[in-house]
């Protein structure tokens, strides 16, 4: 199993950090810096998280120095997919993150009343102006992903996926075939008995087994467990070293 993945030009460990509970406080900015010191290189946020305070905390944390290879991903267009709304959200995200260019920008979700091509157009324009490096899509099915890929190059897909929620197996598999990063969100949401059994065999935690299963599931998965605990950040990164046996994987697969 490979422990790193390329997002654009940056090679990052395949465990990232979800930040939807991050607040704009000195303590949380210090937590982000500690997580990077522990080895995190992929930080996932969004325009809407904590009413913008998640992005602001990350911006504050990295203002005094940004270690090489840190990739910050954010998202927009959750409540409203119109291009003019997304353009405004990109502007705010750039300011809160205190950057001239966003490393990875996702369309947060697709809207019934706006064609995905129109929503993406706002993001493509900013990419073409050099203010976004790479584009992703979130909460998409196969047909929506196909339309997105016709509209522009898609570097990453972020969907709800874990051992107990495999509705997006088809999207995950396509991403593996096409070399697109697949970011499974809510990686730790469902602790199943099988996770606990395998964890006990390895002296690991169920969370670590859940992450190791996701890492094994496809070479392009990059889970983003959400945490505000530096001990949990270290535990999550340690899942990169957890080797599940064929028997473990069979037991987990059969349970999902």
Ligand X SMILES: NC(=O)c1ccc[n+]([C@@H]2O[C@H](COP(=O)([O-])OP(=O)(O)OC[C@H]3O[C@@H](n4cnc5c(N)ncnc54)[C@H](OP(=O)(O)O)[C@@H]3O)[C@@H](O)[C@H]2O)c1
Active site residues: 49
3-state percent breakdown (helix, strand, coil) of the chain, nearest 5: 45, 20, 35
Residues 6+ apart with CB under 8 A from 109: 77, 78, 81, 138, 139
Smallest gap from Cβ 20 to ligand X, in A, equals 4
Judge contact between 145 and 154, C-beta under 8 A. Answer: yes
Binding mask 93-132 vs ligand X (x if CB under 6 A, - otherwise)? Answer: ----------------------------------------
Decide: is 236 part of the binding site for ligand X (CB under 6 A): yes
Say how far apart CA 222 and CA 202 lie, in whole Å. Answer: 22
Decide: is 18 part of the binding site for ligand X (CB under 6 A): yes
Considering only the stretches 18-26, 115-123, 163-171, 240-248, report the one whose residues sit in contact with ligand X under the rule CB under 6 A.
18-26
Decide: is 220 part of the binding site for ligand X (CB under 6 A): no
Binding mask 188-207 vs ligand X (x if CB under 6 A, - otherwise)? Answer: xx---------------x-x
Say how far apart CA 67 and CA 71 lie, in whole Å. Answer: 10
Q: State the Rg of the chain over Cα.
A: 18
Query: What's the start-to-end Cα distance of the chain, in Å?
Result: 21
Nearer to ligand X, 65 or 203 (CB): 203
Say how far apart CA 190 and CA 186 lie, in whole Å. Answer: 8
Smallest gap from Cβ 6 to ligand X, in A, equals 20
Among 38, 232, 255, 256, binds ligand X (CB under 6 A): 232
Residues 134-173 close enough to bind ligand X by CB under 6 A: 138-139, 158
- Residues at the site binding ligand X, with contacts judged by CB under 6 A: 18-20, 44, 138-139, 158, 185-189, 205, 207, 224-229, 232, 235-236
């Amino acid at each position: 199993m490979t422990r790193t993945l390329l997002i654009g030009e940056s090679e990052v460990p395949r465990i990232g950090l979800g930040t939807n509970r991050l607040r704009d406080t000195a303590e949380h900015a210090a937590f982000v810096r500690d997580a990077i010191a522990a080895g995190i290189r992929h930080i996932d946020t969004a325009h809407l998280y904590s009413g913008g305070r998640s992005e602001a905390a990350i911006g504050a944390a990295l203002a005094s120095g940004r270690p090489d290879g840190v990739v910050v991903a954010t998202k927009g267009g959750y409540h409203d997919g119109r291009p003019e709304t997304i353009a405004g959200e990109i502007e705010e995200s750039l300011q809160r993150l205190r950057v001239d260019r966003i490393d990875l920008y996702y369309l947060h979700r697709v809207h019934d009343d706006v064609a995905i091509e129109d929503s993406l157009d706002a993001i493509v324009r900013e990419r073409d102006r050099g203010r976004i490096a790479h584009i992703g899509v979130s909460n998409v099915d196969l047909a929506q992903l196909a339309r997105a890929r016709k509209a522009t190059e898609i570097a990453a897909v972020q969907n709800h996926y874990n051992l107990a929620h495999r509705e997006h197996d088809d999207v995950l598999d396509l991403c593996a075939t096409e070399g697109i990063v697949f970011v499974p969100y809510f990686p730790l949401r469902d602790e199943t008995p099988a996770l606990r059994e395998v964890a006990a065999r390895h002296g690991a935690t169920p969370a670590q087994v859940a992450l190791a299963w996701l890492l094994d599931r496809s070479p392009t998965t990059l889970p983003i467990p959400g945490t505000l605990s530096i001990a949990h950040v270290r535990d999550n990164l340690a899942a990169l070293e957890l080797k599940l046996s064929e028997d473990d994987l069979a037991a987990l697969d059969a349970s999902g």
